[in-house]
Every structure is written in C-alpha cells, then in structure tokens.
Structure 1
Amino acid sequence: MLVFEFKAYGKKQQYDKIDEAIRTGQFIRNKCLRYWMDNRGVGRKELYKYCTQLRAEFGLVKDLYSHACQAAVENAQRAIDRFFDNCKNKKPGKKGYPQFKKNSRSIEYKVGGWKLSSGRKRINFTDKKGIGMLKLKGSRDLHFYQIEQIKRVRIVRRSDGYYVQFCVDAPRSALKDCKSSNRAVGIDVGIKYFLADSEGGIVENPKFYRKSEKQLNRANRKKSKKFKKGKPQSNNYKKAKNRYARKHLRVSRQREEFVTLSGTPLRPI
C-alpha cells in the first residue's frame, strides 16, 4: 500500500466543514468505545450495527458518508484489538487500554464519498457535510494509477493547513530488476553518526532538532507566557501555539526528507 499526500486548498467555509467532519468521526469512535466498555465481548459486527443506530439518532452522523462512519468504527476496533494483542503477548508495562479521543486531526473515507476530477488535480467530497471541491497540489501524479486502486482517502489537519492522503493498492516493484552483488555489508545506525557501514563509510548525523532547539525553546516560552490557567485561551495564545507547532513540523519534515533521500553518499571515516 502506497500513500501519496497532497496539500489541499479551499475556502474558509470548506475548512470549517472539514473540522466538523473530523469532529463527527471522533464522536463515532468515542461512542463505539463507550459501547464496547459497557458491553464487553461485542465485536466489529455489533459496532457496525451500533453505528447504524447512531446514524438514525444523530443528524451530524447521518450527514457523514457511510464509509467514513465505518472507517471511524474500524479505528475504534483497531484500538481494542491492539489492547488485547498486547495482553495476549504479555507486553511489559502498560497494555494500551483504549482511550477516548479529544483532539482528532483526520477523517478517513473508503472507496465512496469522494470523486477525483479528470485531471486528478481536484477532489470533490460528495457527502452532506458540504466540504465540496478542494484543489490538490503535490509532486505525485495519480494518472499512473486507476481509480479502483485508491482504497482510502484521508483528510489530515496540520498546523500549516489541510492535506489529502491517497492510500493506493499498488505493489512495490522497485527491487524487481535489481541484481545481487553477492556482498555482505554491515550497517550500524547510531547517534554520533547517522549511518556507518563495515567498509568504513559513514553518513553524518544532520541533527536538525539540535540546530533548531534555540528557536523552538523561544517559541515555546512565548506560547507559555500567553497561557491563562483556568480561563479561555486568547487568540494570541492560539497563534503562538500554531507558530510553535509549525516549527516542530518543519523539523519533522527535515528528518523525513533526509531519511527518504536516496543515494546518500558515504564518506570514509
């Protein structure tokens, strides 16, 4: 399964509708968890039936596409299954008892509730939430894949905007034509060096976090000064919080880009 991500552009009203859809998915997940806690032994089938009851009872759930509701139920079921697997395998420490979500950042659709444009540069969400058409901007080209290969579409909210992720069912064939060199090379990943091999080559650790630590601490102090304990937070606090989150997001992307960069040269120690 390949995941391609695009930046989503729309109007302020559309972003509000996306937030409403995210809150609805969080509501369904939390209600399913509560139903499981009150009725131990229920499985995925019973949770699906309970979600159908929620759609009949709450208008905000009915407005969300049925496949997105099912994805929220599956999200709760994964948390339950993970807890039981940890107990069965006797994982040391906490077993990860399912917790209620209070700040979800994504909503997931299956094969329905959305439609790509012919140019694959826009996506239209067709449920009653009213998200509508969003413009997509990214470096990937979805023309290489059929619509039937897209199994999931996920809208993700981050500190710098909204993103649309496509989960594509495509085999990884990058190594199919590679030939073996009949050589064995030992690789060690550490802190002093990012990577070192048994032939004497190394890749320096870029230390993106250490380089940005001073800016991060300054942004965190500014955010903390605007925090009011026990009172509603001001818009200035929310802006400072967003600036702090964006700086962390930049460091995270620097790390990801460095790790995924192909052909990183090795130099002798």
Structure 2
Amino acid sequence: MLIYEYKLDGSKAQFAAIEEAIRTTQFIRNTCLRLWMDARGVSRNDLQRYCAVLARQFPFALSLNSQARQAAADRAWAAISRFYEHCKKKKPGKKGSPQFQHDCRSVEDKQTGWKLDPDGVHIRFTDGCGIGRLRLIGSRDIMAFPLSQIKRVRLLRRADGYYCQFAVAATRRVEHQPSGKQVGIDLGLRAFFTDSEGNTVAPPQYLCKAERRLKRLHRRLSKTQKRSRNRRKARQALSKAYLKVQRQREDFARKQANALVSSHDVIAYEALQIRHLVKNRHLAKSIADAAWGRFLWWVRYYGTLHQVPVIGVEPAFTTQDCSRCGQRVKKSLSVRTHLCPGCGLLLDRDHNAALNILQKALQGTVGQTGTDEGVSSNASGQPAATRRRSATPRKQAG
C-alpha cells in the first residue's frame, strides 16, 4: 500500500466542513467504544451495523458518508482488537485498554463519497458534509493509478493546514545493486550511529537546536488568556514549531536509512528496547531527539524494498566484549575507548560494538529479528514494527 499526500487549497467554509466531519468521526468512534464497554460479546460486525443506528438517531452523523462511518467504527475495533491481542499474549505491564479519543485529526472515506476531477488536481466530496471541491497541491500524479486501486481517501489536519492522503493498492519495487558489503551499526548519542567500518554519522539534535525558540513560544502561550484569539494564534505557532522538528527528524532518518540500505547487502543492528532507555531521566530527552526507533523503522522498510537482510540482535555485552578475542572488558559509560588486556585491541567503544553486532548477526544469534517479520504493509500504508522479545537486556545509551 502506497500513500500519496497532497496539501489542500480551499476556503474557510470548506475547512470548517472538514472540521465538522472530523468531529463526527470522533463521535462515532467513541460511541462505538461505549457500546463495546456496556455490552458483552460485541463484534466488529455489530459496530458496523451500529453506525446505521447512529445515522438514524443523529442528523449530523447521517451527513457523513456511510463508508466513512464504517471507517470510524473500524478505528474503535482496531483499539479493541489490539487490547484483546495484548491480553491473549499476556503482555507485561499495561495492556492498552481502549480509551475515548479527544484529539481526532482525520476523517477517512473508502471508495465512495469522493470523486477526482479528470485534471487530477481537484477532488470533490459528494457526501452531506458540504466540503465540496478542493484543489490538491503536490508534485505527484495520482491519476497514474486506476481509481479502483485507490482504497482510502483520508482528510487530516496538521498545524500548517489540511492535507489529503490517498492509499493506493500498489507494490513498490526497487532493484538493489549488490555491493558485497556487510555492516553492523551501533546507535549512540555522541554519534547517531557508528558502523563496523568505523564510519560515524553526527547526531542532528533538531530538538536541541530548536529548544530556545520552543521555550519562547511556550512562554508566549502561557501569558495569553484562555479561549482568546491570541491564545489560538500562540498555540498554532507552537504547533508549527514542533511540526518542523518532527519533519526534520523524519527526513533525516529516511535519508540515512535509504543510504545505508542502498550501499550494503546485509545490515545488522541492535534490537534496543527504547521504551526502557527513555526511563533514564538524564538521557530521555537526548534519546527521544535522536529518534532511533524511527530510523530503524525506515531501515527495515527499505530493507524490504531492496530485499536486503536486516537483522536485529540482542545488545547484551556488545560494548563490553572484545570484537577480536571475545574477552569481556567491563567499562563504564564515560569510558569511550575499548582496550583489550588480552589481545591489545584498541578501538572506539562504538566501533567495537558495531563489529560485535555484525558478528552476532552473521553467526545467527538466537533471538534475532529480520525483515521477513519486521515490515509488513497495513491498510494505512505503514510498515508494522518488528516484534521483539520483552526480555531483551537494556543497553547503556551511547
């Protein structure tokens, strides 16, 4: 599933109609969730049929396209089924009990309720919400695909405007040029990652660079009166600043992952439990700013496209063990050099860890994860995250 995204150009009345459709989607999703809470044995089919009941009871729900109402019910069922799955697998900690949504930002149509103009630059929504005809701003040609391949059309709100996403049932294929290189990468904070060849990539630190401006915008927001026009403007400026940081991280992670996969035939990485690492209050902000999880997500995604093995190994003792003789050399986080007393190997600790990660992957370490199970395409076009063992030992950041 491919996702094509365009920014929307329209009037204030049209954007207000989109907001009303989004609120209706949130209402249907939360009402279906309440039905599941109040009654036993509610199935996905029951939620789908309940949408017709809501349309008869509430005129504003009737204005939304019938398949858009079903898509809203599917959102509620997605949260319910995920909760059931976590309970069935006895996931440790919280099971993710479904919660009512208060910040819905999108509405989704299936294959009805919209119509593309022949020019491929305008889209018209034909339901009762009154959205009408909108112009698509983007460089890609959505008309290159038959209309039957467009399975979803999603309207979403971001801090800088409204966007339209098309979910196209198509498969992307990339012809990989073999390089004969195998690489292991060690993620860190001093260097974004260090590979087994000794190359390093500097951390971008987008949040750190934008922090001064973000603090100023936070102070400006805190000084405004609630429900005032100035407060709304201050919130929008702050949201745009955070959106810029998010897009910078995404762009950096995507480009680095593409370059890494394109130039190697085998890639090994340490399967970190990032959700445990961010519990360190001294390093949590730096780890979140590095966005390791997003980078690894793109590495697995491009590995699937290029049909390149991407192997995750347990990070236990990758920093401590000597990559030449295997002797375990204890060192604290402040020690940045690996010096083996047995064989005399002198290396940067991250370079030594990257070599160990590659060796573990090539030896077929028990508990490794690969691209076969790591990336799959779902209805939204997003590859699913690799499932890792919850017992993976923690690794010190850096």
Q: TM-score, normalised by structure 2?
A: 0.63
Cα distance, 1:188 vs structure 2: 2.3
Q: 5+ unaligned residues in a row in structure 2: which ranges?
A: 264-350, 352-398
Aligned residues: 261
Give the ranges of 4+ consecutive aligned residues of structure 1 lying more than 3 Å apart after TM superposition.
179-183, 262-266
Cα distance, 1:132 vs structure 2: 0.5
What is the alpha-carbon root mean square deviation over aligned residues? Answer: 1.8
- Is 144-153 or 12-21 further displaced after alignment? 144-153
Separation (CA, whole Å) in 2 of partners of 1:234 and 1:181:
59
Q: Which has the larger radius of gyration?
A: 2
| Corresponding residue to 1:222 among 202, 220, 224 | 220
Cα distance, 1:183 vs structure 2: 3.2
The answer on 1:119 being equivalent to 2:116 is no
Separation (CA, whole Å) in 1 of partners of 2:225 and 2:108:
33
Secondary structure (helix, strand or coil) at the match of 1:257 reads: helix
Match of residue 184 from structure 1:
182
Match of residue 68 from structure 2:
68
Match of residue 334 from structure 2:
none
Matches within 5 A, 1:246-265: 246-261=240-255, 262-263=258-259
Separation (CA, whole Å) in 2 of partners of 1:144 and 1:222:
46
Cα distance, 1:227 vs structure 2: 4.6
Separation (CA, whole Å) in 1 of partners of 2:245 and 2:179:
36
Q: How high is the sequence identity, in percent, across the aligned residues?
A: 48
Q: Specify the code of the residue in structure 2 equivalent to 1:80.
A: I
Match of residue 8 from structure 2:
8
Separation (CA, whole Å) in 1 of partners of 2:99 and 2:47:
16
Separation (CA, whole Å) in 1 of partners of 2:224 and 2:128:
38
Cα distance, 1:169 vs structure 2: 1.0
Secondary structure (helix, strand or coil) at the match of 1:156 reads: strand
Match of residue 238 from structure 1:
232
Matches within 5 A, 1:82-101: 82-101=82-101
Deviation sequence 1:171-229 (CA, Å, 0-9, x none): 1211xx3244443211223322223211122221111111000000110111112154x
Identify which of structures 1 and 2 has the higher relative contact order when contacts are C-alpha pairs closer than 8 Å and 6+ apart. Answer: 1
Separation (CA, whole Å) in 2 of partners of 1:181 and 1:41:
55
Secondary structure (helix, strand or coil) at the match of 1:186 reads: strand
- Is 202-211 or 243-252 further displaced after alignment? 202-211
Secondary structure (helix, strand or coil) at the match of 2:183 reads: coil
Cα distance, 1:242 vs structure 2: 0.9
Q: Specify the code of the residue in structure 1 equivalent to 2:143.
A: H
Deviation sequence 1:51-105 (CA, Å, 0-9, x none): 1111111111111101100100000000101111111122222111111112211
Secondary structure (helix, strand or coil) at the match of 2:107 reads: strand
Secondary structure (helix, strand or coil) at the match of 1:193 reads: coil
Q: Specify the code of the residue in structure 2 equivalent to 1:101.
A: Q
Separation (CA, whole Å) in 1 of partners of 2:158 and 2:221:
18
Separation (CA, whole Å) in 2 of partners of 1:195 and 1:241:
35
Deviation sequence 1:227-261 (CA, Å, 0-9, x none): 54xxxx21111111111111000111111111222
Match of residue 137 from structure 2:
137
